[in-house]
Amino acid sequence: MTKTETQRIDVDALYRRYGPMVLRRCRSLLHNEDAAADAMQETFVRVLRHRDSLRADYPSSLLYRIATNVCLNMMRSERRRPETTGEAILDTVPGRDNVEDQAVSSALVEQIFSGVKDSTRRAAEIHYQERATLEETAQRVGLSISGVRKRLDALRRQSLTRAAG
């Protein structure tokens, strides 16, 4: 066995042991469950990507530092390019106080969901209206978390394109 092989980091073991610590750190910095889960995943992706050059003498310190940097980078990116949330899009829909505006709003919502799979529509309703986390949404619609995230992101992009056009 070469020196490199003996120093190779077991990412799976690190994830099992330190994953909760990394997630807590990400939550404390980002104050957003979905962003914290993404940051935790990115932390371990970075460890996996650089496992041959990293030293795991103090793995908790290493992971804590990487998670902190990932979160700070996400916060910087958010300040540069704020993401429009589903709630913000719904807030731009014309007033909800008169029947005509409600009809227009209803038509707009139907236009947004036209040609969209029922499971995507249900995921959007659960996530945005019921304020469920991505994990809860995924469980309820029978998709993976990444599947729900991809569908909601595609729906958001499609909605913004329609609103602009």
pLDDT confidence tier of residue 70, bands split at 50, 70 and 90: very high
Give yes or no for a contact between 22 and 38, defined as CB atoms under 8 angstroms apart: no
Considering the four listed CATH numbers 1.10.3470, 2.60.40, 1.10.287, 1.10.10, the one that applies to the domain covering 86-164 is: 1.10.10
pLDDT confidence tier of residue 99, bands split at 50, 70 and 90: low
CB neighbour list of residue 93: distance below 8 Å, 6 or more residues apart = 104, 105, 108, 109
Cα–Cα distance, 40 to 34 (Å, whole number): 10
Instruction: Specify the pLDDT at position 162.
Output: 66
Cα–Cα distance, 87 to 23 (Å, whole number): 25
- Does 35 or 114 have the greater pLDDT score? 35
Whether the pLDDT of residue 3 is over 50: the answer is: no
Give yes or no for a contact between 123 and 117, defined as CB atoms under 8 angstroms apart: no
Give yes or no for a contact between 140 and 90, defined as CB atoms under 8 angstroms apart: no
Q: What is the dihedral of CA 76, 80, 86, 88, to 10 degrees?
A: 120
Q: Which CATH class is domain 3-80?
A: mainly alpha
Domain limits, the chain:
3-80, 86-164
pTM: 0.47
Amino acid of residue 156 = R
